[in-house]
A and B are shown apart, each in its own frame.
Chain A
Amino acid sequence: MIRHMFKMVWNRKASNALIILEILVSFLVVFAVAAMAIFNWRNYHRPLGYEWEDVWHVRFRVGDTEFDDDERRLAANRRVERILRELETMDPVVQASAGHFPPYTRSSSSRGWNTSDGREIHTEIILATPEFLDVLGIKRVAGRGFEAADAALHWKPVVVNRSLAVDLFGAEDPIGRTIDFGSRDDDGPETRVIGVIDDYRKEGELAVPSNMMFEPFWLQMAQRPLTQLAIRLAPGTSAAFEEELSERLHALAPEWSFNVRSLASKRDAYLRLRLAPLFVAGVVAVFLILMVALGLVGVLWQNVTQRTLEVGLRRAKGATRPNIHWQILGELMMIASIGLTLGALVVVQVPMMGWFSFLDSATYGLAFVVSVVTIYLLAGACGLYPSWLAARVQPAEALHYE
């Protein structure tokens, strides 16, 4: 019977082409949705690497001329340092730091290079005062954080996240190792890893995983100043503290303007911003799949009506109602399998072309399984009614038609 069904499907490939196309399209839609959903879901459940509760974010605006020369830069940095120390004297403030960039900010800076043995490395760079890691409760898994004494080192200490450590040194212990910047290693002191953190997913719960490298910022030097602060407050500090904080900041630097917000509220806004397009894409996908399903029911229905005579004949030759039912569904499953095979061919091409490279193979595989199962279920559901209709064909009546 399986062979017979296969022959029917194969010999009717021209009239089945439309169904195969429908299956192919819906598979691709479901696959895309599943891949994005799984990707985001898995990201969402990945550890953030920091604690946003009770941390506040301050951004200040400074006139451009303040950064013109070393003297001004140094003055600005000294002022930031004074602000940080002053803030720490306030009752609810546990610790204050400056850094580029705190969580839930869209700015980033990154660096890419080729190592001497030709590996391509890419990482985001976070420039921050030593306290920044503690203020954000960034979990360290090996080595140490920055200390004031590090300013005197003749090499540059950095803290990296796990994924960068793996990219750089594989399974080997990264602590104390010098980072190989390849041919770009010309100027400046050598860079050594002093600590490894679990992660720092700056863009929040829906962030795409990336490499991270923390470099220390010394406020007593004439570097271009950091204009963003991260401040840890005692647990349960009320939102009313914002006003007190703003007033103090204004008093400390009257000609700068400040923007104060809790990371909690920044996080809310960020998630909303990130989830909105996903939600819209989901709704669009559901509608697409519904349309495809309706189309499928229509095509199958038409298909079954065209085959009334054949069904009548089979009934006359001894097919029972369940025989007809299963034949129609079985053929549909075979047609679905053809569509899915074509879909699979398309889907394996995608990573080969280098598209969607941010999707790891586990996500990709899971999305594939999910969409195959979904399509079989969808096809089965769409075929249920038409095959039921076919099984109810009365042989005498069906054979009456010419």
Chain B
Amino acid sequence: MIQLRAVEKVYRTDRIETIALSNVNLEIRSGEFVSIMGPSGCGKSTLLNLMGLLDVPSEGTVSLAGESVVSYSDRQLSRLRNRRLGFVFQTFHLIADLSVVDNVEIPLLYRRMSGSERRRLALAALERVGLSSRVHHFPAQLSGGQQQRVAIARAIVGEPDVLLADEPTGNLDSSMGDEVMAILHDLNSSAGTTIVMVTHDERLAGQTGRILRLFDGRQVN
């Protein structure tokens, strides 16, 4: 599904050059549930951003479904992000000025689709994460766990092939974290969604199919 070949990522600022990733080679197969672990600053988010086409590698290639995307235009990359990828962030990143259901509809705004169809899909996604009773609330009126479930609904509303989650439980207590994990497991097993999740939690990582470990920008296994 996702393939990284000899990927390097270097951040250059005026004075310092940070090698965030170096010579990363990996493949995520369709239907897998993979977790990425490693100490803070080792490059986990950088790696996830590259897989999510939010950033481009300094060297090497990123391929999605067997096709390299290095030469893709902004328009093509946007389309892939929109159709095939779903993203969940540690800090939810909900738009405070929009209601729950309007937040969930966002990915569908960038597709040709009627407003009522959009609404129908958003409500269905909220139903899957168990938030049907909160559709007209605003993010500030929800608990952290509920906000993350909205973010998951938003990530899956467009039925992506791959869900990328950067510490989705990092800001949640363990019971809310477990709720979120349960939803991810359900998506993986029932819908066959490929999931790549960054986590610091060995216990949660242990529940996934495979663990990728990073140290100082390099794979360790």
CB <8 Å contact, B102 and A4: yes
Which residues does chain B contribute within 8 Å of A321, judged by CB atoms? 74
CA A394 to CA B45, docked complex, whole Å: 15
Closest residue of chain A to B110 (Cβ to Cβ) is A318
A379-402 with Cβ < 8 A to chain B: 394-396, 399-400, 402
Cβ-defined contact, B54 with A396, below 8 A = yes
Q: In whole angstroms, how far apart are the Cα atoms of A399 and B90 in the complex?
A: 10
Task: Judge whether B106 and A11 touch: CB under 8 Å.
Answer: no
Contact flag A399-B93 (CB < 8 Å), given A317-B87, A317-B106, A321-B74: yes
Query: Which range holds the interface residue count of chain A?
Result: 20 to 34
| Residue A259 interfacial (CB < 8 Å) | no
Q: Verify if B97 is at the interface (C-beta below 8 Å from A).
A: yes
| Cα(A132)–Cα(B82), bound, Å | 84
Q: What's the nearest-Cβ distance from chain A to residue B163, in Å? A: 13
Q: Which residue among B54, B74, B81 has the maximum number of chain A CB atoms within 10 Å of its CB?
A: B54
The segment out of A308-316, A335-343, A363-371 that lies at the interface is A308-316
Other than A12-B97, A317-B81, A317-B106, give 18 A-B pairs with Cβ distance below 8 A. Answer: A3-B115, A4-B105, A8-B97, A8-B98, A312-B93, A313-B95, A313-B106, A315-B81, A317-B82, A317-B87, A317-B107, A318-B83, A318-B110, A320-B78, A321-B74, A323-B78, A395-B55, A399-B89
Is B87 a contact of A320 with CB atoms below 8 Å? no
A15 to chain B, nearest CB (A): 9
Among residues of A, the one whose C-beta sits closest to the C-beta of B55 is: A396
Q: Does A7 contact B (CB under 8 A)?
A: yes
Contact indicator A396/B49 (Cβ below 8 Å): yes
Contacts of B111 in A (CB 8 A): 318
A1 CB within 8 Å of chain B:
yes
Closest Cβ neighbor of B93 among chain A residues: A313
Most buried by B among A4, A394, A396: A396
- Does B75 interact with chain A (Cβ within 8 Å)? yes
Tell me, in angstroms, the Cα distance from A315 to B82 when the chains sit together: 9
Known: A8-B97, A11-B97, A320-B74. A314 touches B106 (CB 8 A): yes
- Number of A-B pairs whose CB atoms are under 8 Å? 65
Taken residue by residue from 72 to 84, chain B's Cβ proximity to chain A (1 for < 8 Å, 0 otherwise) reads as 0011001101110
With both beta carbons as reference points, the residue of chain B lying nearest to A13 in the complex is identified as B97
A-side contacts of B87, CB under 8 Å: 316-317
| Cβ-based interface call for A319 (8 A) | yes
Cβ of B145: which chain A residues have Cβ within 8 Å of it? none
**A315 contacts B93, CB within 8 Å?**
no
Q: Cβ of A309 and Cβ of B102 under 8 Å apart?
A: no
Q: Measured between C-beta atoms, what is the minimum distance from A360 to chain B in Å?
A: 45
- Are B95 and A319 in contact, with the CB atoms below 8 A? no
Q: Assess the B102–A319 pair: CB atoms within 8 A.
A: no
On whether A395 and B54 interact (CB within 8 A), knowing A318-B83, A318-B107, the answer reads yes
Whether A11 lies near B91 (C-beta < 8 A) is: no
* Docked complex Cα distance between A400 and B46 (Å): 10
Known A309-B93, A310-B95: A318·B115 in contact at CB below 8 Å: no
Q: A4-B102, A7-B102 are in contact. Are A317 and B110 (CB under 8 A)?
A: yes
In the bound complex, CA of A317 to CA of B95 (Å): 13
Nearest to A314 among chain B residues (CB) is B106
21 A-B contact pairs sorted by A residue (CB < 8 Å): A4-B102, A4-B109, A8-B98, A309-B93, A312-B93, A313-B93, A314-B110, A315-B78, A315-B81, A316-B81, A317-B107, A317-B110, A318-B78, A318-B79, A318-B82, A318-B83, A318-B110, A318-B111, A319-B109, A320-B75, A394-B55
Interface residue SS majority, chain B: helix
Query: Which residues of B from 89 to 133 have beta carbons under 8 Å from A?
Result: 89, 91, 93, 95, 97-98, 102, 105-107, 109-111, 115
* B43 interface residue per 8 A CB criterion: no
* Interface of chain A, main secondary structure: helix
Q: Does B154 contact A (CB under 8 A)?
A: yes
**A310 contacts which chain B residues (CB < 8 A)?**
95
Task: Give the residue name and chain of the B residue nearest to A309 (CB).
Answer: B93
A7 partner residues in chain B, CB cutoff 8 A: 98, 102
Note all chain A residues with C-beta closer than 8 A to B217: none
Instruction: Report the bound CA distance from A309 to B115 in whole Å.
Output: 25
Q: What residue of chain B has the Cβ atom nearest to residue A310's Cβ?
A: B95
Q: How far is the CA of A321 from the CA of B105 in the complex (A)?
A: 19
Flag whether B168 is at the interface (Cβ < 8 A): no
Q: Are A319 and B110 in contact (CB under 8 A)?
A: yes
Residue of A nearest to B89 (CB): A399
Which residue on chain A has the smallest CB distance to residue B48?
A396
A396 to B48, CA, bound (A): 10
CA distance A12 to B107 in the complex (A): 20
Question: CA separation between A397 and B159, bound complex, in Å?
Answer: 25
Q: Name the B residues within 8 Å of A318 (CB-CB).
A: 78-79, 81-83, 107, 110-111, 158
Which A residues lie within 8 Å of B154 (CB)?
317
Asked if B52 is at the interface of the complex by the 8 Å CB criterion, the answer is yes
A11/B54 contact (C-beta < 8 A), A313-B93, A315-B78, A317-B82 known: no
- When each residue 282-324 of chain A gets 1 if its CB lies under 8 Å from chain B and 0 otherwise, what string results? 0000000000000000000000000001101111111111010
A residues 1-59 touching B (CB-CB < 8 Å): 1, 3-4, 7-8, 11-12
User: Closest CB-CB distance, A55 to chain B, in whole Å?
Assistant: 70
Report Cα–Cα, A316/B48, bound state, in Å: 12
